Amino acid sequence: MKILTTLISLLGLTLFAKGEPLAVGGAAPEVVAQDQNGQPLALKDVFAKGPTLVYFYPKADTPGCTKQACSLRDDWAALKGKGIQVLGVSGDKPEALKGFEAKYTLPFTLVSDPEGKVAAAFGVPFMGGMAKRMSFLVKNGKVVWNMPSASTSDHAKDVMKAFDALPK
């Protein structure tokens, strides 16, 4: 029953959720949320440390979201080599994110957004406790790239390609 509910929610999110993602050139939102350890995380502080991928995904430990997270994990050395930090944002509670992180040995920070405030700040549709799959690169406090329909298994490669195309 849980799988059926998740599938129906994802279908509804895809078909009915509308929103305008934060545009390239826009200021990165300065929101605070909890990480997978239940600790407060000020996105502004993360952005100050360097280029950051903020990717939104519907639900931890579901097939597409797992492929996406594992794509980033598997190319972690290449992402770090470019100086890219990663924040994965979903509507899951910290405990679920902690389990997702441990199960798949994810080396990056996961952000809990059950009320959708981080999603709203980025203009990401949020329905039924789930965000639409979208990604943003933030550099020097500005959005420098967005992907309104982020890939799953090739996500890391898409991000690195976009990063490499940015003006230096």
> Which residue shows structure tokens 């957004």?
113
pLDDT tens digits, 5-43? 344 444 444 433 456 888 999 999 999 999 999 999 999
Question: Does position 160 have pLDDT exceeding 70, yes or no?
Answer: yes
CATH topology assigned to domain 2-165: Glutaredoxin (3.40.30)
Of 91, 90, 76, 98, nearest to 135 by C-alpha is 90
- Say whether 65 is catalytic: yes
In one letter, which amino acid is 53?
L
Both tokens of residue 39?
């600790």
Both tokens of residue 31?
């929101």
Determine the 3-state secondary structure of 139 from DSSP. strand
Active-site residue (options: 10, 65, 84, 106): 65
Q: Mean pLDDT highest for which of 12-26, 54-68, 144-158?
A: 54-68
Contact between 79 and 115 (Cβ < 8 Å):
no
Q: Where are the domains of the chain?
A: 2-165
Please tell me the distance from the alpha carbon of residue 88 to that of residue 57, in angstroms, as a whole number: 7
